[in-house]
Amino acid sequence: MSEVVLSIRDLEKTYPGGVQAVRGVSFDVHQGESVAIIGSSGSGKSTVLRCINRLIEPTGGVIELGGTQINTPRANVNEIRSRIGMVFQSFELFAHLKVLENVTLGLRHVRGMSKSEADKVAMEVLERVDLLERVDAYPGNLSGGQKQRVAIARALAMKPEVILFDEPTSALDPELIGSVLKTIRGLADEGLTMIIVTHEINFARDVADRIVYLDKGLVAEEGPSSIINNPKTERMQRFLASMNEEH
Amino acid sequence: MNSRRVGVERIFSWSALDEKTRVGIIVSVFLLVAISPAVGQSIETGWDIAESGVDSNLNAAAVHGNETWVFGDGGVMLSSSDEGMTWSAMNSDTTADLISADSAYDSMAVLDSTGSVLMKQGLDADWTNIGSPGEGMVDLVLIGQNSLILVGVDGAIWRYSASNWQEIETQFTENLNDISFLDENNGIACGENGTLLFTTNGGISWNYREAPTGSSDSNLISVGYYNPYRLYAASSDGQILSSTTTSAQNWNLVEIESEGYNTSLDENLKSIEVVSASIILFAGPDNYLGVSLDGGNIVEHNIIPDGINTSFNDHAMIDYQKGIVVGNQGVILLTDSSGKNDLVGFEIPDYGNFGEFSEYADDMMLDGFKATVKIVGFGILFGFLIGVILAMFKTAPTNLKGLVEGRPNGIVRTLGGGLAAVGLYLFWEGVSGFSELGLDGIEYIFTPVGDPRGFAMFGLGIALTLLGLLFLSNNGKFSKIEIGRVTLNPWKIRPLNSIATLYTDFFRNTPLIVQFMFIHFGLSLGMEIQDAYESVFGDMGVDGFDYWLLGESAFISAIFTLGLNSGAYQCETIRGAIAAIPSGQMEAGRSIGLTYMGTMKLVIMPQAIRICIPPIGNEMVNLVLNSSLAMVIGYAELSRQGRLIIAVTFQIFWAWGMVMISYFVVTWTLALLLRRLEEKTKIPGLGISGGA
């Protein structure tokens, strides 16, 4: 097996007020692998994801990126984040910037590229997400699917070691989901390392190399994508059954 | 762009106005033109000519009991017992020119040009010659019934006491011109090259006082010591210096408002007479007499009676209104109104006609308009800057835990120990001064003004001590404190937020007009900044950009007050706009590796500012309207100009009407500009659309 890019050991997060959202989660992500985290609402999926790029400070456990622990107070959090891309459920595009500027912002102000260099990189990634014709539009004038693809391009442009997807299709109308899923699937095929928190069970099965099923802040079941067809634990069976009812 | 042309048309086109607006404008103009004139006044001299019966130059005057005395060239002595109306020549033992006189402690003394002093030691005593310490003496002052001090060239100071002349040795060698004493001990002398000498022991020893910036080369010709807090001096070329500190420690150059805030009267002066804490009379060659009722801010140029053309030398005041002034060729003038020009009430048609009125008022109104736009412009910039900074402070998430986290506990504790020690020291130093203030109970709320330095140390001391104790207690757990049912977590305190909150609470809970007066008169902020500028870059002169920007201390104080005040209000608006930006935007910015400040600058603020343009616009309009309060500190903006125009023309309706229209033009233009700005910066999908 290829080398481990991201390693999570005994991750814990207790929110102020005492809610234990994550209670000892461990898993590894290998180079070129895509991992889907599934689970019901409140199972700690998003918390795990946000702990990885330290938008949330974990209260316990170790997170290693490329073999180095990144959840120490001394670690340079901005440098770490620039190595981990993130795509949000509600896109979070910068409304006052055009599509191209959304993508180049990090390149210019974090990577320190000149405008022309950054534009060049941005055009490349926008081509990958098939949005070349909308580079001069403001986010407010894009459809939901286009917005999410811009957000993906924004994360991709930084050439991250791993990209985190936080329910990338949950805020989209059903007919727009397809284009985003296609884009993500394309990236997975290109061998990008990614972690996807998703409710799209079928998509998780198709795209992910591995499934991590979280329940009540713990890893309840973990394995290749085939486990979706044959869940071992009763909990995951019930969860999958409820998801199928919905669709 | 097409939309821009449409905007311009809408602003300036008569045809684009709706009917109501047009009728309103026509009615306003009609009312302005139709209102009939009020009464005007004319001005006459406040001085009367007294017949002196001599044509010698009269150099000095003094009030001695019920008599008024005048002394002149060739030993001339005149005396009047009816407050200066009629004069009779007195026998004089000398034919030398009498150049200076003083009267106090029931004694009177006069100095002649050879340095001899004649003295009347008592109201009914005869003149006796007490001799001369030498030539070159120019002024004398009595410091007791039988004692006096002379000053003269090359810094000479002689003291006469107990029938003995004693030369006072000082290291000062500039020529001295004038001397004035408050009582037997405290006195001031002035001379060439900005020399100011002060004594607290009856003239036995003298200390140098620094002349204010801009008058260190001036020939200080006359000085008056009215009370412990009011000293004035004048230079031969028209500067007025004042000191309001005990022992005349600090001197300021008066910015003469009636001379356009210049620091010189543009008249040569010979003598000043301080007759009350704020009334000063001025006399000079070239037929000049002047009076100021407010410590030199506004100096009225006295009208001189017809037929008088002289050089005025000295005043003698019986009280603060009645007195005389003497000059060359035997001129004696008397007044019962401090020399103020008399206003004689009869109707003059000048300003009754709106055309005549506006011809006079236009220029002043335009000056006021420019002055208002100037403070408003700078005030808005300054206020917005402060607002943005404070809003950033208020929203900054850094708390004490964040400051400490990740540093070894030992270092934090050591630092805490140090901070607590410094804090306790400051606290103790601050508190120990409070008892001297003589305050009682609730009066202690005034300690911040009674002992500002002590209070600052006290406050800082408490803060540092608590912070130090908190750091000392650090064990890496950052736990909260529970006292009974109350729990608080000091680690959650956000220092920047606390500072900003203190600031905004203070400025939003005190009246703006008081802030104006406190900052301008209390802190003398404008003057301090001018002095600082001049001490670094030298004299700013009276033209050029630096003078335009810093030449008026009231202007500096005004923009600071408006900016500091408006900043406190704008801060809340901007903070609200920042809060309105979804928290995901900060996460998104951070997720691509931007720092907190980087995300604020590149992502949050550009959106927040767009959102808050309408409310900030309101705040800016408020600032324009509030700027009218700058009149209380003597800044010549629109409202003050309105008052000045009324003072001259007595056309109250026209003047205030014009002021009102001028304000409307400023605020309306500003509102239109902001509306344009809002349209121009609008981004699809950001904020509520259709707001304009």
Cα–Cα distance measured from residue B547 to residue B82, given in angstroms and rounded to the nearest whole number: 51
Choose the final residue of a domain: B493, B514, B532: B493
Is the Cβ pair A86, B686 closer than 8 Å?
no
Which domain does B276 fall in, by range? Answer: 48-344
**pLDDT, averaged in runs of 10, over chain A (247 residues):** 88 87 93 92 91 90 91 86 92 93 94 94 92 92 92 94 92 87 90 91 89 92 90 89 75
Partner-chain residue, chosen from A55, A105, A140, that has the shortest CB–CB distance to B686: A140
- Average of per-residue pLDDT across B92-116: 89
* pLDDT at residue A1 in the model: 59
Partner-chain residue, chosen from A90, A93, A105, that has the shortest CB–CB distance to B602: A105
Higher pLDDT, B162 or A161: A161
| Residue B256 shares a structural domain with residue B142 | yes
| Residue B499 shares a structural domain with residue B572 | yes
8 A C-beta contact, residue A84 and residue A70: no
With beta carbons under 8 A apart, name residues in chain B contacting A139: 684-685
With beta carbons under 8 A apart, name residues in chain B contacting A92: 582, 584-585, 587-588
* pLDDT at residue A245 in the model: 74
Mutate to test the interface with B, among A59, A96, A161 (most CBs of B within 10 A): A96
- Output the DSSP codes for B266-301: SS--SEEEE-SSS-EEEEETTTEEEEESSTTSSEEE
| Residue B245 shares a structural domain with residue B101 | yes
Q: Is the pLDDT of residue B346 over 50?
A: no
Closest chain B CA to residue A157? B592
- Average of per-residue pLDDT across B146-170: 89
* pLDDT at residue B16 in the model: 65
8 A C-beta contact, residue B631 and residue B647: no
Query: Would residue B64 count as lying in a domain?
Result: yes
* pLDDT at residue B93 in the model: 80
Q: In this complex, is the C-beta atom of A247 within 8 Å of any C-beta atom belonging to chain B? A: no
B582 CB neighbour count, 10 Å cutoff: 12
Cα–Cα distance measured from residue B686 to residue A94, given in angstroms and rounded to the nearest whole number: 10
* pLDDT at residue B249 in the model: 85
Closest chain B CA to residue A103? B592
Closest chain A CA to residue B401? A73
Q: Is the pLDDT of residue B11 over 70?
A: no
Q: Is the pLDDT of residue B543 over 80?
A: no
What CATH code is assigned to A4-246? 3.40.50.300
Q: Would you list which residues of chain B are within 8 Å, Cβ to Cβ, of chain A?
A: 405-406, 582, 584-585, 587-595, 598, 602-603, 606-607, 610, 683-686
Choose the final residue of a domain: B344, B377, B410: B344
* CA R_g for chain A: 18
Phi, psi angle pair for A23, to nearest 5°: -125, 45
- What ranges in B473-544 are assigned the alpha helix state H? 495-508, 512-517, 525-537
Closest-CA distance of chain B to residue A236, Å: 31
8 A C-beta contact, residue B253 and residue B213: yes
pLDDT, one tens digit per residue, over B372-421 is: 999 999 999 999 999 999 999 999 888 888 888 777 888 888 999 999 99
| Residue B469 shares a structural domain with residue B567 | no
* pLDDT at residue B6 in the model: 43
Confidence of residue B5 (pLDDT cuts 50, 70, 90): very low
pLDDT, one tens digit per residue, over B274-308 is: 888 788 999 999 889 988 888 888 888 888 888 88
Is the Cβ pair A105, B594 closer than 8 Å?
yes
- Average of per-residue pLDDT across B138-149: 90
Query: Would residue B315 count as lying in a domain?
Result: yes
Query: Would residue B12 count as lying in a domain?
Result: no
Is the Cβ pair B591, A55 closer than 8 Å?
yes
Angle value at C-alpha B394, between B390 and B396, nearest 5 degrees:
110
* Number of domains chain B is built from: 3
Query: Would residue B299 count as lying in a domain?
Result: yes
- A 120-179 residues with CB < 8 A to B: 138-141, 151, 154-155, 158
Mutate to test the interface with B, among A109, A125, A156 (most CBs of B within 10 A): A109
pLDDT, one tens digit per residue, over B558-574 is: 999 999 999 999 999 99
Question: CA B16, B21, B27, B28: dihedral to nearest 10 degrees?
Answer: -100
Partner-chain residue, chosen from A74, A86, A139, that has the shortest CB–CB distance to B591: A86
Is the Cβ pair B593, A82 closer than 8 Å?
yes
Closest-CA distance of chain B to residue A84, Å: 8
* pLDDT at residue A173 in the model: 87
Choose the final residue of a domain: B493, B523, B546: B493
Buried residues in B88-111 as b, exposed as e (16+ CB within 10 A): eeeebebebbbbbbbbbbebbbbb
**DSSP run (H or E) holding B556:** helix B553-580
- Average of per-residue pLDDT across B622-651: 89
CATH number at residue B165: 2.130.10.10
| Residue B456 shares a structural domain with residue B323 | no
Residues 6+ apart with CB under 8 A from B355: none
Is the Cβ pair A78, B589 closer than 8 Å?
no
Partner-chain residue, chosen from B584, B589, B602, that has the shortest CB–CB distance to A90: B584
3-state secondary structure of B325: strand
Is the Cβ pair B686, A92 closer than 8 Å?
no
* pLDDT at residue B344 in the model: 58
Question: What are the tokens at B415?
Answer: 């630092």
Q: In this complex, is the C-beta atom of A78 within 8 Å of any C-beta atom belonging to chain B? A: yes
Cα–Cα distance measured from residue A111 to residue A121, given in angstroms and rounded to the nearest whole number: 12
Cα–Cα distance measured from residue A45 to residue A36, given in angstroms and rounded to the nearest whole number: 10
Residues 6+ apart with CB under 8 A from B137: B111, B115, B150, B151, B152, B156, B158
8 A C-beta contact, residue B328 and residue B296: no
8 A C-beta contact, residue B114 and residue B132: yes
Cα–Cα distance measured from residue B161 to residue B566, given in angstroms and rounded to the nearest whole number: 62
Angle value at C-alpha A57, between A219 and A5, nearest 5 degrees:
60
Question: What are the tokens at B354?
Answer: 């709106």
Cα–Cα distance measured from residue B223 to residue B192, given in angstroms and rounded to the nearest whole number: 12
Mutate to test the interface with B, among A50, A94, A154, A161 (most CBs of B within 10 A): A94
Closest-CA distance of chain B to residue A204, Å: 24
Is the Cβ pair B590, A85 closer than 8 Å?
no
Closest-CA distance of chain B to residue A183, Å: 20
| Residue B487 shares a structural domain with residue B567 | no
| Residue B147 shares a structural domain with residue B266 | yes
With beta carbons under 8 A apart, name residues in chain B contacting A94: 585, 588-589, 602-603, 607
Burial label, B124 (beta-carbon count in 10 A; 0-12, 13-18, 19+)? exposed
- What ranges in B447-524 are assigned the alpha helix state H? 447-450, 452-472, 495-508, 512-517
**The residue count for chain B:** 692
pLDDT, one tens digit per residue, over B450-487 is: 888 888 999 999 999 999 988 888 877 777 777 778 87
Query: Would residue B352 count as lying in a domain?
Result: no
| Residue B204 shares a structural domain with residue B119 | yes
Query: Would residue B432 count as lying in a domain?
Result: yes
Query: Would residue B548 count as lying in a domain?
Result: yes
Partner-chain residue, chosen from B582, B593, B603, that has the shortest CB–CB distance to A78: B593
| Residue B505 shares a structural domain with residue B539 | yes
With beta carbons under 8 A apart, name residues in chain B contacting A81: 590-593
Given CA atoms B237, B240, B245, B248 in this order, what sign does their dihedral have?
A: positive
| Residue B409 shares a structural domain with residue B305 | no
Query: Would residue B358 count as lying in a domain?
Result: no
8 A C-beta contact, residue B227 and residue B266: no
Closest-CA distance of chain A to residue B594, Å: 6
Residues 6+ apart with CB under 8 A from B15: none
8 A C-beta contact, residue A44 and residue A214: yes
Angle value at C-alpha B47, between B41 and B50, nearest 5 degrees:
145
Angle value at C-alpha B561, between B557 and B563, nearest 5 degrees:
115
What amino acid is encoded at A230 in this protein? N
Q: Is the pLDDT of residue B10 over 50?
A: no
**DSSP run (H or E) holding B235:** strand B230-235
Closest-CA distance of chain A to residue B557, Å: 37
Q: How far apart are the first and last CA of chain B?
A: 18
8 A C-beta contact, residue A4 and residue A29: yes
Q: Is the pLDDT of residue B39 over 90?
A: no
Burial label, B571 (beta-carbon count in 10 A; 0-12, 13-18, 19+)? buried
3-state secondary structure of B280: strand
| Residue B198 shares a structural domain with residue B260 | yes
- Average of per-residue pLDDT across B515-519: 94
Cα–Cα distance measured from residue B102 to residue B141, given in angstroms and rounded to the nearest whole number: 6
> What percentage of chain B reaches a pLDDT higher than 70?
93
8 A C-beta contact, residue B587 and residue B519: no
Is the Cβ pair A96, B405 closer than 8 Å?
no
Cα–Cα distance measured from residue A215 to residue A213, given in angstroms and rounded to the nearest whole number: 7
* pLDDT at residue B462 in the model: 93
**DSSP run (H or E) holding A107:** helix A99-109
| Residue B414 shares a structural domain with residue B438 | yes
- All structural domains of chain A with their residue ranges: 4-246
* pLDDT at residue B33 in the model: 63
A13 CB neighbour count, 10 Å cutoff: 22
Closest-CA distance of chain B to residue A97, Å: 9
What is the rounded average pLDDT for all residues in chain B? 86
